[in-house]
Structure 1
Amino acid sequence: MEKARYIVGIDLGTTNTVVAWTDAEKDDASRINVFKIPQLTEAGVLDTRDALPSFLYLKEKSEIESPSFALPWCQDEAAAVGEFARNRGAEVPGKLISSAKSWLCNAAVDREGAILPWEVTGSGEKISPVEASSRILSHIRDAWNHEMALDDPELVLEKQHIYLTVPASFDAVARELTVTAAKQAGFNDIILIEEPQAAFYSWLDQSGESWRDSVEKGDLVLVCDVGGGTSDFSLIEVKENDEGALDLERVAVGDHLLVGGDNIDLALSYFLAHQLKEKKKKLDAWQMRGLVHSCRNAKENLFSDQGVEKYPVTILGRGSGLIKGTIKASLDLKDVEQVVLDGFFPRCALTDEPMAATAMGMKEFGLSYEADPGITRHLARFVSSHRDDAGNVKLPTVVVFNGGVMKSTLMRRRVLDVLSAWKEGVGQGSIREVDAIDFDLSVARGAAYYGQASQGDGVRIRAGLGQSYYMAIEASMPAVPGIPMPTRALCIAPFGMEEGTQAESRDRLFNLVVGETVTFDILTSSTRKEDGVGEVIDNWEDMDIREMSTIETHLEGEDQALIPVTFEVKVTEIGTLEFWACSRDDDKKWRLELNVRPKD
């Protein structure tokens, strides 16, 4: 990697994007700064914010041509990004794109196809989740270059060291697509880092050398990250190396859960709408969208630890008499506590499972939101899956909180109470929280710290793949009438395989079909950590191995030929996965590209 002036961490979030940086040429190079991002906050108003809301608004033709919607670096941008986009899009939802990051990991759709805005039918511009993510990153690039590199082309963002965060639960395809989006934005030299790790790195940065006084050998640290759109959990174990110093290793990663602050805002809006309905004040869809935004502000103020007991909520009327038809209401802290704590952070047992979705005959197609909003029940399933060699549940001893939702003392205290009850139930002692300074900005700051650590200035967490990867292979056995040929799961990349390493399987041969279009089903497991490269698992459907995606490709070769092959796999330095089938008889190799089609 060539020398660069800045190390930049980018938290490409579901609801907000944050950028942090450090200057490698200054005496205080260890100081990490947050880049204040220029953006439209309303028509004709340019301002800077610590975060860029991850929303795109597809402008009308008149808006593209209007100077009120122009940016200093671009006068005719087709889409607005940021605060104005979020607010304007709430008024014109058919032109609003949100949660692009969550669409990147939705294997049921063509993530490189023009599908967003999702619920809009008929004519009108649409773009892909990859393109939407790229446009957010392009806004970051242009804003940085305007503010930081206007007089020096060597300081443009494309020439700096970029560390881009992804959820720990992102699979190999979602990571590859994130890299594709970054390359489309002009970033050809990036490194991926998992968000919970970045949050922990931020704590390391804030703590300095004193972090070793806060944790000790044998501690199991839970990173509980509940943001605007998602919840992510990771476990980091504190170990001792051969020199007697403390080491950190990420040992478990949870599923990608689409439940977070946005769900809470929606729940509060329905709660308030129900109260208004009882007073004969029924809201239409347009007013409900405005109410969700107002409830977000109310939630943040009521949970701000400033002693606010009640917060006013105003809902605009419809038609010419907007002011006359305005509805005034309020949210009380005690009601919000009941809705949020009991609905999203309920007290539950360690053995509790998230509620399953109801068996409806037909469901709306879209993002795979969690059927159960109870975040603590999802947490119970995650921590109960982490066991010691004797099969006993190994509960965390330390918690690091992250994400905008966890800014609330009430919510953190509830999670700690639930964890403490679990530990008391199995006799594993107490649990403690380590202090975090900023729950909104820590992931970007931690990514910048990781960049420093990668260059030898800081502590690193040993991690690697957060899932084991498998390929479904057809079993070699006699055909039976009426019975489909069974498949087995071939482990192609084990849990924990580290970036920059590769492995190969030479002990067993497989037949590769070339010369025609074929499909490869890729499978994953976040709990099977002992499977090795080349291991074959029978009855995988019952072994906590699930389908991830299907690769459809045409491999060059003689028509419909069967080639005896072994295989090798590499986890690249940037955090993506490469798989190669290697001919037994010559030096020919076939790479399976992760350009996947939707899973049938």
Structure 2
Amino acid sequence: MSSYSSAVARACGIDFGTSNSTAGWLRPGAPTLLALEDGKLTLPSVVFFNAEEDSVAYGRQGLAEYLDGYEGRLMRSLKSLLGSSLIDGQTEVMGKALPFRELLAKFIGELKLRAERSAGRDFDTAVFGRPVHFVDDNEQADKQAERTLEETARRVGFKEVSFQFEPIAAAFHYEQSISREELVLIADIGGGTSDFSLVRLSPERAALVERRDDLLANGGVHIGGTDFDKYLSLAGVMPLLGYRSKLKNNADVPSSYYFNLATWHTINFTYTRKIWMELQEVYRDAADKEKLDRLLSLIEQRAGHWLALRVEEAKIALSDADKATLQLDRIRQGLVHDIDRATFETATGGLVDDVERTVAALLRDAGVAAERIDTVFFTGGSSGIPLLRQRIAALLPAARAVEGDLFGSIGAGLAVEAMRRYGS
């Protein structure tokens, strides 16, 4: 139960996520998260520019229009632009140049509009979530990413903007449910980053405004669900399209096409006339033309996002099953392909190693023995990956695992922080 349940907050919390976004607002007798699309609390971070209808669609509607076969451009993993060199670039949409900064503003403006419609009021103040590191090992680029997000938020109408680390926000959400003091590792494994915070929580501490002494350590690495999608795609699917196959001179088919198709925010790069002409040359020299036929068919249909969605579905299925079956009729009629969990775990083992090292370093930095940690609180849509959970559990043998709202804990916690900072 929230400590602030008797007041209406002046500000909202915004979780702009790589895969999904939420908005939270504290007010008496009502759920914290606001409905953003057809009564649902999440808005997939998707923009679809529908060329046939000359319209722009967001979230599930955008995905549905794309999958229904409308001509246009699908943009996903928009948050990945922050801190990258792409942010100052542009892409072509409906025959016009669209700066990536404007693309971000379109989505965040839509997120604000939907939150306001759901709340029945305007918001000019917000606490935005941010990963512990937008960019690993580059403080300047990390600060620039936060500035870009703040500038974008102000551009769409927020007058006061501040930030809270996403795992800290999740901690504040979890704290509303506990009855005693706990030392908690928050494990927020989202679409773009894996973030961790070691926090001392209790019902009594929840009422405090200043919580600096309760935060023992933060850590994070720029690895998330989209990276797991990428490496699963490269290992399990892209070989069907010619990845790691040979040219007639025994050289490898260039890998860049496959890396772009396997990475959510670069899929559209494969649709240029220049790439199409290059691939005609590659096709002529390919030793296995059947696989290149599949690649060319996929690109000609601009079906890269469709394939990425199939891979993402397989990743999710492999969290509960030993095998996932992909129906790939759009590439070739009757094409069915199985991927097993062993392939997934082998392909993503290096990512899991990096996440494990991040948690171990956080414990060392905090000077806290692993045995002292009471609870691991999992949030983020990718926190259900079995190998990740197993490795984190092995580091913290005495901790119990608690699963929060995988997509809503951060937005709800940001709403708590918005009330703390800005009041009612």
Q: Scaled by the length of structure 1, what TM-score is found?
A: 0.51
Q: Which residue of 2 aligns with 1:35?
A: 34
| Identity, % of aligned positions | 23
Is residue 2:167 matched to residue 1:196?
Answer: yes
Flag the structure with higher strand content.
1
**Separation in 2, partners of 1:229, 1:35:** 23
Q: Which residue of 2 aligns with 1:222?
A: 185
Change in 2 beyond 3 A, CA 1:186/1:253? same
Query: Could you tell me how far 1:385 is from its partner in structure 2?
Result: 6.3
1:352-379 Cα offsets, whole Å, 9 max, x none, are xxxxxxxxxxxxxxxxxxxxx4233343
Aligned residue type for 1:414: R
Q: Which residue of 1 aligns with 2:14?
A: 10
Query: Could you tell me how far 1:444 is from its partner in structure 2?
Result: 0.4
SS of the equivalent of 2:128 reads strand
Is residue 2:155 matched to residue 1:156?
Answer: no
Aligned residue type for 1:194: F
Q: Which residue of 1 aligns with 2:46?
A: 55
1:164–1:193 contact (8 Å) kept in structure 2: yes
Q: Which residue of 2 aligns with 1:519?
A: none
Change in 2 beyond 3 A, CA 1:264/1:95? same
Tell me how many residue pairs correspond in the alignment.
351
Which segments of 5 or more consecutive residues in structure 1 lack a partner in the other structure? 39-46, 70-78, 150-154, 319-324, 347-372, 421-429, 458-600
2:36–2:43 contact (8 Å) kept in structure 1: yes
Aligned residue type for 2:159: N
Aligned residue type for 2:415: A
Change in 2 beyond 3 A, CA 1:126/1:274? same
- Asked which structure has the greater RCO (Cα within 8 Å, sep 6+), the reply is 2
Query: Could you tell me how far 1:249 is from its partner in structure 2?
Result: 2.7
**Separation in 1, partners of 2:17, 2:365:** 33
SS of the equivalent of 1:415 reads helix
1:82-104 Cα offsets, whole Å, 9 max, x none, are 22434656879983333332322
SS of the equivalent of 1:406 reads coil
Is residue 2:133 matched to residue 1:169?
Answer: yes
SS of the equivalent of 1:407 reads coil
Query: Could you tell me how far 1:123 is from its partner in structure 2?
Result: 6.1
**Separation in 2, partners of 1:59, 1:121:** 9
Is residue 2:415 matched to residue 1:402?
Answer: no
SS of the equivalent of 2:15 reads strand
What does residue range 277-292 of structure 1 map to in structure 2 within 5 Å?
282=291, 283-284=294-295, 285-286=298-299, 289-292=305-308
2:50–2:72 contact (8 Å) kept in structure 1: no
Aligned residue type for 2:313: N
Q: Which residue of 2 aligns with 1:297?
A: 313
Which segments of 5 or more consecutive residues in structure 2 lack a partner in the other structure? 1-6, 135-141, 246-287
**Separation in 1, partners of 2:403, 2:187:** 12
Instruction: Tell me the C-alpha RMSD between the 2 structures.
Output: 3.9
**Separation in 2, partners of 1:237, 1:273:** 45
**Separation in 2, partners of 1:51, 1:404:** 12
Query: Could you tell me how far 1:310 is from its partner in structure 2?
Result: 4.5
Change in 2 beyond 3 A, CA 1:101/1:309? closer
SS of the equivalent of 1:399 reads strand
Q: Which residue of 2 aligns with 1:132?
A: 103
Query: Could you tell me how far 1:166 is from its partner in structure 2?
Result: 1.2
Counterpart of 1:343 (choices 321, 340, 347) is: 347
Change in 2 beyond 3 A, CA 1:456/1:179? closer
1:37–1:48 contact (8 Å) kept in structure 2: yes
2:23–2:33 contact (8 Å) kept in structure 1: yes
**Separation in 1, partners of 2:410, 2:154:** 21
Query: Could you tell me how far 1:265 is from its partner in structure 2?
Result: 2.4
Change in 2 beyond 3 A, CA 1:266/1:92? farther
Query: Could you tell me how far 1:401 is from its partner in structure 2?
Result: 1.9
**Separation in 2, partners of 1:310, 1:378:** 24
**Separation in 1, partners of 2:153, 2:73:** 23
What does residue range 364-375 of structure 1 map to in structure 2 within 5 Å?
373-375=350-352
1:89-122 Cα offsets, whole Å, 9 max, x none, are 687998333333232223x46x4x4x233xx699
1:555-597 Cα offsets, whole Å, 9 max, x none, are xxxxxxxxxxxxxxxxxxxxxxxxxxxxxxxxxxxxxxxxxxx
1:162–1:191 contact (8 Å) kept in structure 2: yes
Flag the structure with higher helix content.
2
Q: Which residue of 2 aligns with 1:22?
A: 26
Q: Which residue of 1 aligns with 2:392?
A: 415
1:209-254 Cα offsets, whole Å, 9 max, x none, are x142xx2xxx4x4322221222223333579x99xx9975334333
Counterpart of 2:75 (choices 79, 87, 97) is: 97
Q: Which residue of 2 aligns with 1:329?
A: 336
Change in 2 beyond 3 A, CA 1:442/1:48? same
1:21–1:448 contact (8 Å) kept in structure 2: yes
Is residue 2:215 matched to residue 1:250?
Answer: yes
Query: Could you tell me how far 1:264 is from its partner in structure 2?
Result: 2.2
1:236–1:250 contact (8 Å) kept in structure 2: yes
Change in 2 beyond 3 A, CA 1:12/1:183? same
2:35–2:118 contact (8 Å) kept in structure 1: no
Query: Could you tell me how far 1:138 is from its partner in structure 2?
Result: 1.3
**Separation in 2, partners of 1:400, 1:51:** 20
Q: Which residue of 2 aligns with 1:436?
A: 403
1:162–1:190 contact (8 Å) kept in structure 2: yes
1:304-349 Cα offsets, whole Å, 9 max, x none, are x5xx55544211346xxxxxx42342545xx12x2333433x4xxx
2:378–2:404 contact (8 Å) kept in structure 1: no
Structure with higher Rg: it is 1
**Separation in 2, partners of 1:382, 1:407:** 17
1:55–1:82 contact (8 Å) kept in structure 2: yes
**Separation in 2, partners of 1:413, 1:20:** 31
Change in 2 beyond 3 A, CA 1:145/1:309? same
Aligned residue type for 2:126: I
Change in 2 beyond 3 A, CA 1:15/1:411? same
**Separation in 2, partners of 1:7, 1:451:** 5
**Separation in 2, partners of 1:50, 1:121:** 29
1:387-435 Cα offsets, whole Å, 9 max, x none, are 469xx78557342222111134554233312x15xxxxxxxxx341341
**Separation in 1, partners of 2:73, 2:18:** 18
Aligned residue type for 2:380: G
Q: Which residue of 2 aligns with 1:451?
A: 418
Q: Which residue of 1 aligns with 2:253?
A: none
1:254–1:382 contact (8 Å) kept in structure 2: yes
1:106-157 Cα offsets, whole Å, 9 max, x none, are 3x46x4x4x233xx6996322233x3332212112322344443xxxxx223
**Separation in 2, partners of 1:128, 1:311:** 35
Query: Could you tell me how far 1:192 is from its partner in structure 2?
Result: 1.6
**Separation in 2, partners of 1:135, 1:5:** 26
Q: Which residue of 2 aligns with 1:264?
A: 228
Q: Scaled by the length of structure 2, what TM-score is found?
A: 0.69
